[in-house]
Copies of this chain bind each other. A is one copy, B any other.
């Protein structure tokens, strides 16, 4: 039994109103797998890096018992590099540099030791790469969750529609939901998107929380009201990792467990934004996570 996290492994250089970083570990796979690793012990990454990534950075992952056998190291190439600058409101950012490097022709090879996987998170990548990874699994996992972004909606809609037919849960933000569906109201957008394949849909709304749709039900998860968002990079991937991590740990997939999984994802994401990059996700304690989950409970519980 295991959870595969497929996704980019990157170097990021981030600038926010609070400061800036040199190249630090980023990418969907590190954020999502670190997040999941606090909830479920058998997380395995599929990804690719260049020869510049270094043992130290891989050790950040393996120190959290994350299986890195599926991270290909390309000897003569460089790791995917992204550099971005957040505006003062922290809700928008400019991408300054996007060097695909090893990601340009990424072929997602699944190690045979990963074939026991029951849960998989397809992090944001070309939908064709996501589908290829799926097709290389000998047994269909119990749950296939997927992220995507506006870039693929604009440039690879046919591939995206094909991939959507094979997954269980799509996790996107509100703007992407509107773009993918052509509908403004999120309820209508959700219906349209679920008709494309996924049985469940999570729409992330940043500081406004997240909506979970499926089984003719809706769940509205709050976001923790924060005075300061230090660095929002990776919050969405951290959410997705916490979400699938909880489902893998709990072992049952239904609307009730998914509601709780959304809260786990939200709690993990609320840590992520407290420091630069994956920093906050590297040294969390069980107590911190438990306290944060209870905070979410207090935040949204009421008695009729």
A residues neighboring B (CB under 8 Å): 89, 184-188, 205, 207-209, 211, 217-223, 225-228, 256, 259-260, 262-263, 293-294, 297-304
Contacts and interface: CB of A to CB of B under 8 A. Distances in A.
Given A228-B185, A260-B303, A263-B304, A298 B217 contact: yes
Nearest to A89: B184
A304 B299 contact: no
A262 B304 CA distance: 11
A256 B303 contact: yes
A186 B225 contact: yes
Contacts of A211: 225
Contacts of A184: 89
A304 B297 contact: yes
A303 B208 CA distance: 20
| Residue of A208, A262, A297 with highest tally of chain B CB at under 10 A | A208
B299 A226 contact: no
A137 to B, nearest CB: 30
Contacts of A222: 209, 220, 222, 300
Nearest to A183: B227
A220 B227 contact: no
B226 A220 contact: no
Contacts of A218: 225, 299
